[in-house]
Structure 1
Amino acid sequence: MNTIVSTRNLTKRYGSACRVDQVNLTVYEGDVYGFLGPNGAGKSTTLKMLLGLAKPTGGQVIVFGKEFEKNRRSILSQTGSLIESPSYYGHLTGLENMRVVQRLRNVPDRNVFEALRIVRLENHKDKKAGQYSLGMKQRLGIAMALLAFPRLLILDEPTNGLDPAGIGEIRELIRSLPQRFGMTVLLSSHMLAEIEQVATSVGIISDGKLLFQGGMDQLRNRSEAHIAIKTQDNETAERLLLGQGYSPVANGDYLTLKGLGDPQIAEANRTLIRAGIDVIRIEERQKSLESIFLELTGRERSL
Structure 2
Amino acid sequence: MHTDSIVSTHNLSKRYNNVWRVHKVNLYVKQGEIYGFLGPNGAGKSTSLKMLLGLTKPTDGRVTIFGRELHSHRSSILSQIGSLIESPSYYGHLTGLENMRVMQRLRGVPDANIKEALQIVRLEDQKHKKVEQYSLGMKQRLGVAMALLAFPKLLVLDEPTNGLDPAGIGEIRELIKSLPGRYGMTVLLSSHLLSEIDQMATSVGIINDGELLFQGKMEVLRAKGQSSISMKTLDNSAAEKLLLTRGYMPMNRKGRLHFEKLNDEQISHANQIIVESGIPVVRIEEHQKSLEDIFLELTGKERSL
Query: 1:288, CA displacement in angstroms?
Result: 2.0
What is the aligned counterpart of 1:9 among 11, 21, 27? 11
Q: What is aligned with 1:39?
A: 41
Structure 2 counterpart SS, 1:96? helix
What is the aligned counterpart of 1:203 among 202, 205, 213? 205
| Matched AA of 1:164 | P
Query: 1:299, CA displacement in angstroms?
Result: 4.3
Query: 1:251, CA displacement in angstroms?
Result: 3.8
Query: 1:231, CA displacement in angstroms?
Result: 4.4
| Matched AA of 2:210 | G
User: Is there any run of 5+ residues in structure 1 with no aligned partner, and where?
Assistant: none
For the structure 1 residues 282 and 122, does the alpha-carbon distance in structure 2 shift closer, same or farther, using more than 3 Å as the test? farther
Q: What is aligned with 2:111?
A: 109
Bigger Cα displacement from structure 2, 111-120 vs 147-156: 111-120
- Separation in 2, partners of 1:244, 1:4: 51
Structure 2 counterpart SS, 1:223? coil
- Separation in 2, partners of 1:143, 1:278: 64
- Separation in 1, partners of 2:110, 2:272: 71
For the structure 1 residues 108 and 283, does the alpha-carbon distance in structure 2 shift closer, same or farther, using more than 3 Å as the test? farther
The superposition leaves residues 151-187 of structure 1 with CA deviations (integer Å, 9 ceiling, x where unpaired) of 0000000001211122122112212211111000000
- Separation in 2, partners of 1:64, 1:100: 27
Q: What is aligned with 2:96?
A: 94
Q: What is aligned with 1:72?
A: 74
Bigger Cα displacement from structure 2, 252-261 vs 192-201: 252-261
Bigger Cα displacement from structure 2, 225-234 vs 47-56: 225-234
The answer to whether structure 1 residue 282 and structure 2 residue 304 are counterparts is no
- Separation in 2, partners of 1:276, 1:197: 48
Query: 1:268, CA displacement in angstroms?
Result: 1.7
Contact (CA 8 Å) 1:238, 1:255: kept in 2 or not? yes
What is the aligned counterpart of 1:169 among 168, 171, 176? 171
Q: What is aligned with 2:153?
A: 151
- Separation in 2, partners of 1:71, 1:166: 36
Query: 1:15, CA displacement in angstroms?
Result: 2.7
Q: What is aligned with 2:86?
A: 84
- Separation in 1, partners of 2:272, 2:171: 50
Query: 1:279, CA displacement in angstroms?
Result: 4.5
Give the share of equivalent positions with the same residue, in percent.
69
Counting only pairs closer than 5 Å after superposition, residues 223-242 of structure 1 correspond to structure 2 as: 223-231=225-233, 234=236, 237-242=239-244
Structure 1 counterpart SS, 2:113? helix
- Separation in 2, partners of 1:9, 1:242: 45
Name the TM-score, length of structure 1 as normaliser. Answer: 0.93
- Separation in 1, partners of 2:172, 2:235: 51
| Matched AA of 1:196 | D
| Matched AA of 2:46 | S
Corresponding pairs, count: 303
The superposition leaves residues 85-137 of structure 1 with CA deviations (integer Å, 9 ceiling, x where unpaired) of 00000000111111111121122222212222222222221111111122211
Query: 1:28, CA displacement in angstroms?
Result: 0.6
User: Is there any run of 5+ residues in structure 2 with no aligned partner, and where?
Assistant: none
Bigger Cα displacement from structure 2, 74-83 vs 293-302: 293-302
What is the aligned counterpart of 1:268 among 231, 255, 270? 270
- Separation in 2, partners of 1:123, 1:273: 70
Structure 2 counterpart SS, 1:282? strand
Structure 1 counterpart SS, 2:224? helix
Q: What is aligned with 1:136?
A: 138
Q: What is aligned with 1:29?
A: 31
The superposition leaves residues 236-285 of structure 1 with CA deviations (integer Å, 9 ceiling, x where unpaired) of 54444334332222344532111222321121233344446554543322
| Matched AA of 1:3 | S
- Separation in 2, partners of 1:252, 1:57: 46
Q: What is aligned with 1:127?
A: 129
The superposition leaves residues 36-95 of structure 1 with CA deviations (integer Å, 9 ceiling, x where unpaired) of 111111110110111111111111111000111211111111100000000000000111
- Separation in 2, partners of 1:243, 1:165: 57
- Separation in 1, partners of 2:17, 2:254: 48
| Matched AA of 1:128 | K
